Amino acid sequence: MSTPLRLVEPQHLTGAALLDAVTTFLSRFIVFPNQHCAPAIALWFAHTHAAAHFYVTPRLVISSAEPGSGKTLVIEVGQYLVGKPEMVFNASTSAVFRMVASHGPITLLWDEVDAIFTSNGGTNEDLRAMLNAGYKRTAHVARCVGDSHSVQRFPVYSPVALVGLAGAMPATITTRAITVHMRRKKRTEKAEEFRERIVQRDAEPLREALSNWIGGIAETIGEAEPTMPDGVANRSREIWEPLLAIADAAGGHWPQTARQACAYFVQQAELQPVTTGVRLLSDLRTIFAERDTDRISTVDILADLVALDEAPWGDVNGGRPLDARRLARELSQYQVTPAAFRIGGQITKGYVTYSTKDQVGLTDAWSRYLPTENDDTDNETDVEGESWEH
């Protein structure tokens, strides 16, 4: 496929037109699952050129259910657009943080990271700690060096894109990330074949223009406090603040496009339970809503949980289904404990939605740990002084 005629050289483009050009360039080689992906990735690539000016650098996670979905292609193209790229394959944690410490914020493009987190029982605590800590500019990792074993603090702040199969990334990383779930393209969907020489040649003027533009506004966007879409707060705000600051500086349609992408990805993240406990709370909310009651016995809860389609509760104890002891242990993290109540004239034990002065109900936990969508927290009942046997 021939290269499109370039009517205006990238260095003469406005910020909005330059981001448009990056988005179009990405879409030449990659078929994205929806319209929000390419703009979000273009903004993330742009932010790498000013990472030193931001307090937070969001992780970019590129995942898919199956190989061959274009995950690696995102960073193969991206290495020619980001600031100070470093493609990483199976590097040791010590080697990576020494690279970062020696060269300042570099852009780590880490392929097949799922193999790291699913090997050795799924644990690689040093790497996980480095990726978690390096999300913020003030982060350092302390190590003993030399024969004297003196303690040296290595800065680990750097932009990181992580590529791997879905489900392999630890929750401590995904909660600091914008996650793009790639899909295999349909036979009817076409994209230009990736050829490194062509990509490098065509990306070079874009990357240079992007670096010059971002470099000229780096201090301004680093101090910006962009307005967030409704419902975007706390860590989600941290993640998106650098990207929205760039979009606002670009102007044109980009402030709106970026906020639409932000709202989409934040909502998608909220719909994905990130821990076993949150998944349990979510499934319990579904069960209580379906039964339309404020109390269910433990026996019935366990039966309903195991019966849920695509739920993990039928195999959580070495091939055995969830039992009352494990259920109580999981819910105790949220101060929710079993209650005694009457059903059909019989006293039984189970779980309730309402709270009393002595007991925390499930609604309290739902309102704190689950997305507010479809969560009727206004109906929570605090029953002062009520006996559990009613």
What is the structure's pLDDT at 372? 66
Tell me the C-alpha to C-alpha distance, in Å, between residue 20 and each of 6, 42, 121: 13, 9, 43
Q: Kindly report the number of other CB atoms within 10 A of residue 192's CB atom.
A: 14
Q: Give me the residue label for tokens 């309903």.
A: 304
* C-alpha to C-alpha distances, 299 to 92, 136, 207, 344, nearest whole angstrom: 48, 45, 60, 15
CA-CA distance, 339 to 347, in Å (whole number)? 10
What is the number of other CB atoms lying within 10 angstroms of the CB of residue 145? 11
Is the Cβ–Cβ distance between 44 and 243 less than 8 Å? Answer: yes
Right CATH for 10-270 from 3.40.50.10860, 3.40.50.1370, 3.40.605.10, 3.40.50.300: 3.40.50.300
C-alpha to C-alpha distance for 57 and 51, rounded to whole angstroms: 6
- How far is 163 from 156, CA to CA, in rounded Å? 19
Residues 168, 117: contact at Cβ < 8 Å?
Answer: yes
CB 351 within 8 A of CB 362: yes
Q: What is the pLDDT of residue 152?
A: 78
Question: Residue 312's pLDDT is what?
Answer: 87
| Cα(175)–Cα(364) distance, integer angstroms | 22
Cα within 13 Å of Cα(213), Cβ side: 26
Task: Say what the pLDDT of residue 97 is.
Answer: 75
Please give the pLDDT value at position 118: 61
Delimit the domains of the chain by residue range. 10-270, 276-383
Do 138 and 30 meet the contact criterion of CB atoms below 8 Å apart?
Answer: no
User: What's CA 328's distance to the chain center, in Å?
Assistant: 29
**Best CA proximity match to 390, nearest among 325, 269, 295, 300:** 295
Low pLDDT (below 50) residues in the chain: 1-5, 7, 121-122, 374-390
Q: How far is CA 310 from CA 122, 279, 295, in A?
A: 22, 12, 24
- In the chain, the largest separation of any two C-alpha atoms, in whole Å, equals 81
CA 203/CA 23 separation, integer angstroms: 12
The tens digit of pLDDT for each residue in 326-371 reads: 999 999 999 999 999 988 888 999 999 998 888 889 999 999 888 7
pLDDT given for residue 274 in this prediction: 65
pLDDT, residue 119, reads 54
pTM: 0.75
139-196 confidence digits (pLDDT tens): 887 777 777 778 878 888 999 999 988 777 788 888 899 999 999 888 899 999 999 9
Phi, psi (rounded to 5 degrees) for 152: -125, 135
